[in-house]
Structure 1
Amino acid sequence: MTRLDDPVDVGGLELRNRLYRAPLLECAGTDADTADALRRDLEPAAASGAGLVCQGATIVRGEGGCAAPNMTRVHDDAFVQALAPVPAAIEERGGRVFAQLEHGGLRSMEVWHAEYREEHPGVEQLAVSRPPLPMRLADRAGFLDLSPRVLSTDEVYDLAADFGRAAERLADAGYHGLHVAGANMGVVQQFLSPFYNRRDDEFADGFRFLELLHDEIRSRTDLPLITKIPAETRAPPGIRRHLSADDCVDLCERAADAGFDAVVPVSGSVFWDMHIVRGEYPERAWRDGQFQSGYAAAFGSRWRAKLVSLANRVQARRATFEPAWNADLCRRVRERVDVPVLLEGGVRERERIDRLLGDACDLVGMGRPFYAEPRLPARLLDDHGSVAVCENCNNCTVPQATGAPGVCRTPSVLAERGRLEREDAYERE
């Protein structure tokens, strides 16, 4: 029987247990304070026992590609070297940290964030192919501003090389592994997805881009390398071209054969909607007065922000919370690959974790619960009856469109965390 506190090998790196902090939007910026901000965000997870900590999406280029404000860029040698205290602090606590490599493509701020577009009029929008019809319709309605440049074959190679160079910088800074952001509608998913990819060159098979990323990274570092792989099973009705669960399983098998050291299968949509997070409509966050000007700046006006809020409410009715929503998909993948399978999405209870390990997956991760409880591993590892206090209300996520940090803002959750703190529930030897 596989246990949560059993060590596990990922690409030759031994992790002390099978619990990991999934990638989140750290939004720590790119300045002299970034290393300290990342340490504040990530170190508590390692200090409280997590075997692996994933630093959320870091952008491989110096311009464009950010899905949200203040994301960290890793294109500059000196800046990335200044991040060395982050992996050093994680390692000192007994954990290991993987950095997630990303470029947003058509999910980037230059497509959807009105104020950013005004301040950066020269930033090019990178697209795998001509944007699909629903996005073009959103452009005509004023919710997006599309003026994309479809990547040429040579430019695809250049983008892949930037992933490789970013990986090399992070390896030199002491990071323990690398995580390709292959889902959540970033550029890698856009290559993999038939909804976005209608190319007629060698990258018409979108896996070729992921394979190229692997080769570019491997030519520069031998750090453990993992990737997310999407299934677009939550695509809206009427979207016929999308990745099925069968496609996801096949892509995971190809990724393992290509040399990736672990895979993270995740189900979602073809859009950056509530299916990324699932759960309740974040009413408190949308009504909070301190964010109203930021929403207006992001979406172009207060009335457009209200329409986005309404769309968010509609999405939430379809993207309801499901415990361990990727379990069946991960179980299918695990039957087909000989590398570790990581499961995240909707895992909240230690009892469920114990059932999933050795069956659906080899490691289990959580994301939003770490906003609510930065030292959550202490409870999960020590108490077989523990349950995360996160209520899946998503009030932590929507304000990130304004540049606000990802933190829990729900009074009932914060009150419960306070009670647990007073009982020393997060203290470990």
Structure 2
Amino acid sequence: MTAVPDPFAPATLGPLRLRNRLIKCATFEGRTPDALVTDDLIDFHREVAAGGVAISTVAYCAISPEGRTDRHQIWLRPDAAPGLTQLTGAIHAEGALAAAQLGHAGPVANSISNGARALAPSRIPAPMGMSMTHAPSVEDIAGLRSVFRRAARIAVDSGFDALEIHCGHNYLISCFLSPMLNRRRDGYGGALVNRARFAREVLESVREEVGSEVAVWAKLNMYDGVGAVGAPARRWRGFNVDEACEVARLFEQDGFIDAIEPTAGSSLLNPMYLFHGEAPRAAFASAFRGPMKWGLQAAGPFFLKRYEYQPGYLLPLARRLREAVDLPIILLGGITDRATMDSALAEGFDFLAMGRALLREPDLPQRIQAEPATTSQCIHCNLCMPTIYTRTECPVRETAGGISAG
């Protein structure tokens, strides 16, 4: 019988040697008001790195100006490199490695804030900019691959040890995968192999650029949260776990990535499916003004649904991917205690990603390692989610002086 790995023992991911199997997943920190690294962002990741994770993932690192959710987000260009180098250096100084999440927000981008049209495989509404998306031509898509390549090079030259390619949450790549959002009739639409073409080409371009210098993994949606989980993929039902398994097999056959991080939900259609727990509708509405505020107040119960939280809540879907491929899998969703870590590793998952719990307690990994019975203080209220529009924090985080502002 194969021994269950120790979550706190060193492990290998692609070319990297990690001090343990815990990864701080991508959570937009909202600490870059000028789209450049700040001391505040550096301090955030330094604290997480000092808390014991093996990798701290910086999000979102948009590949281009129009690929941002808004104009305050970092986009990878030469002007950003000095700050990114400082950031990776701070993470390394605490004994952790640094990953950059590369992505294009697609229809989730705010075209008004960015001053550029949002993109999607087909013309669909882009609610953040109160507009319709632009559908790129085949030539435009080739250009996007080149932009991903350029962004990857800037990230690696800035000291990042790993790259996460965002293929989830109905961002641009994820939109191409969705039969509901991709209505193209060319080689990038229709059959799943066509809808997966853009994702595969991006992964190929990134790997060609960085070679074996760094680890590369894909954050892949398993289910958009539209229609029943097991329903066949249709235009009105979105991307599902059966198609996700097929795409994962294609990724594995291509050989361009070192791991897959399964995720779920849609920033465009059903954001709470990723998070589970409370749905802070009033707090979300208060984060906006004008039509967006009124829209969230009216549609909150339909758009921000409540899903019961339980430890390892994405396990039922992720098991399907685990069975489909031999690639290492980074399990995300409700990883907050030693029992869940051990259970996931016993099922064959390779790495464990933590998010909200680290906003509340950046040193949670160290504390769990020292005392396996440690219980996370995260109460899954999800009040941290609306703070991404200002400065991401746990609003109920306790410090020696009371309630922390972050």
TM-score normalised to the size of structure 2?
Answer: 0.87
Structure 1 unmatched runs, 5+: 111-116, 422-429
Structure 1 partner of 2:258: 261
Structure 1 partner of 2:110: 109
Given that residues 353 and 364 in structure 1 are in contact (C-alpha distance below 8 angstroms), is that contact kept between their aligned partners in structure 2? yes
Q: Partners of 1:218 and 1:232 in 2: how far apart?
A: 26
Structure 2 partner of 1:45: 48
Paired residue secondary structure (1:57): strand
How far off its partner does 1:206 sit? 2.1
Q: Partners of 1:183 and 1:262 in 2: how far apart?
A: 15
Query: Which deviations, in whole Å up to 9, do the C-alpha atoms of 1:149-176 show, x marking residues without a partner?
Result: 2100010110111111000011111110
Paired residue secondary structure (2:61): strand
1:257 maps to a residue whose letter is: Q
Map of 1:49-198 to 2, 5 A cutoff?
A: 49-61=52-64, 63-68=65-70, 70-74=72-76, 76-110=77-111, 117=112, 122-131=115-124, 135=125, 145-198=130-183
Map of 1:360-399 to 2, 5 A cutoff?
A: 360-399=348-387
1:189 maps to a residue whose letter is: S
Query: Which deviations, in whole Å up to 9, do the C-alpha atoms of 1:325-375 show, x marking residues without a partner?
Result: 221222222233222100111222221111111315111111111211122
Paired residue secondary structure (2:381): coil
Out of 381, 405, 409, the position equivalent to 2:395 is: 409
Structure 1 partner of 2:240: 244
**What's the % identity of the aligned pairs?**
25
Structure 1 partner of 2:196: 207
How far off its partner does 1:275 sit? 1.7
Q: Partners of 2:26 and 2:9 in 1: how far apart?
A: 22
Query: Which deviations, in whole Å up to 9, do the C-alpha atoms of 1:25-54 show, x marking residues without a partner?
Result: 122326496142331111112112111111
Q: Partners of 2:102 and 2:270 in 1: how far apart?
A: 18
Q: Partners of 2:307 and 2:387 in 1: how far apart?
A: 19
Structure 1 partner of 2:273: 275
Structure 2 unmatched runs, 5+: 229-233
Q: Partners of 1:51 and 1:420 in 2: how far apart?
A: 29
Q: Partners of 1:307 and 1:187 in 2: how far apart?
A: 23
Given that residues 167 and 174 in structure 2 are in contact (C-alpha distance below 8 angstroms), is that contact kept between their aligned partners in structure 1? yes
Query: Which deviations, in whole Å up to 9, do the C-alpha atoms of 1:134-162 show, x marking residues without a partner?
Result: x49xx7xxx86223221000101101111
Deviates more, 1:250-259 or 1:169-178: 250-259
Distance 1:68 1:203, change over 3 A: same
2:32 maps to a residue whose letter is: G
Given that residues 277 and 306 in structure 2 are in contact (C-alpha distance below 8 angstroms), is that contact kept between their aligned partners in structure 1? no
Distance 1:147 1:268, change over 3 A: closer
Distance 1:108 1:48, change over 3 A: same
Distance 1:343 1:313, change over 3 A: same
Map of 1:266-345 to 2, 5 A cutoff?
A: 266-269=263-266, 271-282=269-280, 285-286=283-284, 292=286, 295-296=288-289, 300-301=290-291, 305-345=293-333
Given that residues 356 and 378 in structure 2 are in contact (C-alpha distance below 8 angstroms), is that contact kept between their aligned partners in structure 1? yes
Paired residue secondary structure (1:64): helix
Given that residues 26 and 355 in structure 2 are in contact (C-alpha distance below 8 angstroms), is that contact kept between their aligned partners in structure 1? yes
Query: Which deviations, in whole Å up to 9, do the C-alpha atoms of 1:78-120 show, x marking residues without a partner?
Result: 422431121122122211111000111111112xxxxxx2x66
